[in-house]
Chains A and B, each alone.
Chain A
Amino acid sequence: MSDNRMEVRQVELEVLRYNPETDQEPKLQKFTVPCVNEWCVLDALNYLKDNLDPTLAYRWSCHMQVCGSCGMMINGEPKLACKAMLRDYPGTIRIEPLAHFPVERDLVTVADDFMAKLKRVKPYLIPGQPRTLEDGEYKQSPEQLKRYRQYAMCINCMLCYAACPEYGLQPKFIGPAAIALAHRYNQDSRDGGRDERQEEIATNEGVWECTFVGACSEVCPKHVDPAAALQQVKVASTVDWYLEHFMSWVKK
């Protein structure tokens, strides 16, 4: 295993700094950080904080791409800092807080809006047929599991909101991850709550706001494909609309 993985090189970082107590406005600050080639951007930030500037604020925890804390703009693209490998960034690396969210401080954004939207779509199982513990588990075939599993992979990293042009223009838009999560439960064979959720997501602030740019799916680090979820919800709610308005006599 001899290669350049362990080589140390000086990496130029341009980091957005903003402290609401002391700064009028955000500015980029330059640092030169000695980095091991196999590191990720998060390792570089940790080195910076421990050795160069302990006042830098950013979120992280797992360092394994699963807690969803470390989303930031890296050279203008929304990325997980623990997934962005230095080997893929030969030049200066510009690091900014996730786009479309207010900055709380430095690389830390205010996540209130996202958290409220998650809650709004009722992202929990509303049982179709309630069971007691004595009844044991619901039966669910591997195929039924597959219908929603991908949408259950979301780590709430908010990268898709930072990538979404619609969310940038219209902050009321519920947005990709929350809609994908609603869809996840709608698709679950154990669930019976679709109608309740549709009231939130099949609206103008919901899926109809989406112009299907697909940027969300491109940046998603977990292959959730929120764009596909949005599209499926749109199709399904169109069908609902027709059923309600033109087909009501069929039911009678």
Chain B
Amino acid sequence: METIQTDVAIIGAGGAGLRAAIALAQADPKIRIALISKVYPMRSHTCAAEGGAAGVIKDDDSFEQHFHDTVGGGDWLSDQDAVEYFIHEAPKELIQLEHWGCPWNREADGSVAVRPFGGMKIKRTWFAADKSGFHILHTLFQTSLQFQNIQRFDEYYATDLLVDDGRCQGFTAIEMRSGQMRCFKAGAVVIAGGGAGRMFPFNTNGAIKTGDGMALAYRAGAPLKDMEFVQYHPTGLPNTGTLLTEACRGEGGVLLNKDNYRFLQDYGMGPETPIGKPELKTMELGPRDRVSQSIWHEIQRGRSVKTAWGDCVWLDMRHLGEKKIDERLPFVRDICISYLGIDPVKEMVPIRPVVHYMMGGIHTDTKAATSLPGLFAAGECACVSINGANRLGSNSLVEILVFGKRAGLSALDHARSQKPGNDAALTTLADAAQAKLRALFMRNVGKESISGLRKEMMDTMEEGCGIYRTQESMAKTCDKISELRRRYQNVALHDKTNVYNTDLLSALELGSMLDCAEAVAVGGRERKESRGAHQRLDFTARDDSKYLKHSMAYYNGLEPPRIDYRDVVITSSPPGVRDYSGAKK
């Protein structure tokens, strides 16, 4: 097997992975950096982010307020030391991107413009029209091209971490073009593999968001944290799940039920604000978990809009007018016209909540180190945790920058402090990974199909781990996933060739999703309270006496994960009440 020897290897070239690579290249032009991605970097799903990125920059804002919005938004499950580090680094990272050329929207005086976002008390979201993530990703990718010591391996799929002597020293990956396996040996490894929303049927995530990064770390013994917290975004297109950014509401769009009534006022987010005058942290600018849950209740009460794609509510943006929509939300308009045939300038758009983001992920400390020495993680695949039980919109584009950089630099420190590894032992591990793959190729096609198992997984995840959950629904899903993971052992490939074998990729991605799905379902079943995005009909209140804790899921082979708990770090904000009514001041 061909071996690539490098100082730091990064799995994932989305926002987090690219930021890590640049930080490393700038820290030392002599170190070797290998950047591996299963897609070309600019195809990474960071490109899909629309709304923007939060960082304190304006005079009316303060670190303290960003801190409180984030911690309260996360229903006090965020680690407050991590949040403190995050909010202080955020503006520096956003300015750094500005210096690298990111086309942020501007005020008339040439300074960077900010927009309001859900759950944020002050306008602090930097944006580049409604293509913020796209511009961040391309700015990072293009910036990375000037560094000779970033060696890219585009369209390489990482399969197994190599752990010897109690530390991570590399991984194996398949080169898609040749189908050959390669062995990457490194002083330290950073995982920046992105989210796992594709385990649900209706989601805003790209095809690549299959939780590979999480599964890689998990199988190698690093625990996954808070996996039960899955964010639903309130405004997805009902047929494709395509996201309509929160900025639709930030700019003044409103949500209506079938009677054209702004129902959010019935769920503690009122009183009603005048049309076209959105007020921060109120009504349509409440946090995502609350808004999505309110839509669910409207559906239960029979006040939803019936459409060919199921129960919806209306998103009305007509009063914004064509000019503002074209200037601030041009992409939203394009998408609505393309996929629904509806022009938001003229008509109301039906929407429904859609799976969007994983708050949970690979457990890391504030230095982005996982529990496995030599392994670091950042971005959506990691859980530091700044997002707690519910991420605030526009915090994660900043998280990928702040902790991407952190992960890169921490990995460098680690790599420099290590003695060379045992080459022979690593080669043996790599050979074992290759043998596993060969066995998959040899297996004869039976009755299990990849797409069939995938569909069963998605259905049970939606049924058991949706917006509202119960003991019974989650227990059923746990059993089902456990069954699917066993049946997955019999999955075989139809395609036994080497070049760009996407049948193989689908099989491996399904394996990752099933592992992540089990951690979500078991973590949810065991958390007998309601907090943030984890809402239960049988335990409706938050229970700080028992669950002011992170869940930690440990891989356990074909058995369900072992769940352990870890205290939340509280520095200055004791758990309080989340208030999103306009009445409070």
Contact = CB atoms under 8 A, between A and B. Distances in A.
Interface of A: 1, 5-6, 19-22, 38, 40, 49-51, 54-69, 83, 85, 104-106, 108, 110-111, 115, 118-119, 122-125, 127, 131, 133, 136-142, 144-145, 148-149, 152-153, 155-156, 181, 185, 188, 190-191
B256 to A, nearest CB: 15
Contacts of B449: 54
Contacts of A144: 110
B43 A123 contact: no
B293 interface: no
16 contacts: A19-B497, A54-B450, A54-B451, A60-B207, A61-B39, A62-B47, A63-B242, A105-B499, A115-B154, A118-B142, A122-B145, A124-B142, A125-B100, A142-B107, A144-B110, A156-B42
B301 to A, nearest CB: 22
Given A124-B146, A190-B99, 9 more contacts: A21-B498, A38-B339, A38-B340, A40-B339, A67-B39, A67-B43, A115-B154, A144-B110, A188-B101
A65 B208 contact: no
B503 interface: yes
Contacts of A156: 40, 42
Contacts of A139: 109-111
Given A62-B48, A139-B110, A104 B142 contact: no
User: Per DSSP, are chain A's interface residues mostly helix, strand or loop, or mixed?
Assistant: loop
Closest 3 CB pairs of A and B: A139-B110, A125-B101, A50-B451
A149 B130 CA distance: 13
B106 A115 contact: no
Given A54-B450, A62-B206, A141 B40 contact: no
A68 B100 contact: no
B485 to A, nearest CB: 20
Interface stretch (B131-139, B551-559, B569-577): B131-139
B98 interface: yes
A67 to B, nearest CB: 4
Contacts of A127: 99
B28 interface: no
Interface in B87-101: 92, 95-96, 98-101
Contact of A5 (B92, B143, B341): B341
B101 A21 contact: no
Contacts of B65: none
A133 B96 contact: yes
A152 B132 CA distance: 12
A214 B583 CA distance: 57
A57 B505 CA distance: 11
A155 to B, nearest CB: 7
Given A5-B341, A60-B207, A138-B98, A54 B43 contact: no
B13 to A, nearest CB: 12
Nearest to A142: B106
Nearest to B342: A1
B131 A66 contact: yes
Contacts of B307: 1
Contact of A185 (B98, B101, B108, B450): B101
B494 interface: yes
A131 B99 contact: yes
A82 B474 CA distance: 35
A1 B347 CA distance: 11
A54 B506 contact: yes
Contacts of A58: 502
A138 B99 contact: yes
B111 A104 contact: no
A238 B332 CA distance: 40
A152 B103 contact: yes
Contact of B95 (A22, A49, A56, A136): A136
Nearest to B498: A21
Contacts of A55: 494-495, 497, 503
